[in-house]
Amino acid sequence: MSKKVGGAKPQRYMQPSLLLALSGGSSYGYELIQTIGEYGFLRGDAPPGMVYRHLRQMDEEGLVESSWDASGDGPAKRVYSITPEGAEILEAWIIHMERQRDALDAFIRRYRAA
């Protein structure tokens, strides 16, 4: 198969992946890196720098909020939570993905019917 096939950039789905992971409850960076790797958009673990860059940007945009958790052993961890605005953006992503899925399904059906 050509290397050009399916060349979508994995970071395209970083924002909705992080929002989906946080929709299940607050989490910190390392947990989020592991969780979003299970969604299938990335090969292997998500690059930590990319994840934290997106989290900072989403925090600035009000899609997530963060606070420090100093409980437990070890250094304090920044914990992220989805905001109501973040939940709205996640819903918009889901609608977009459903439309994309429907267009892809129609394209495949047309090809198979030919």
CATH of the domain at 97: 1.10.10.10
Distance CA 82, CA 49 (A): 20
Distance CA 44, CA 106 (A): 30
Other residues' Cβ atoms within 10 Å of the Cβ of residue 1: 5
pLDDT at 3 over 70: no
Q: Cβ-count burial of 81 within 10 angstroms (0-12 exposed, 13-18 middle, 19+ buried)? A: middle
Q: What is the pLDDT of residue 6?
A: 53
Q: How many domains does the chain have?
A: 1
Q: Within a domain: residue 56?
A: yes
- Looking at per-residue pLDDT, the higher value among 43 and 5 belongs to 43
Q: Within a domain: residue 52?
A: yes
Q: Within a domain: residue 5?
A: no
- Report percent pLDDT > 90 for the chain: 71
Domain range for 22: 10-113
The reported pTM is 0.86
Q: Within a domain: residue 4?
A: no
Q: Within a domain: residue 92?
A: yes
Contact 79, 59 (CB under 8 A): no
* Residues 7-29: tens digit of each pLDDT: 556 678 999 999 999 999 999 99
Q: Within a domain: residue 19?
A: yes
Q: How far from the centroid of its chain's Cα atoms is residue 70's Cα?
A: 26
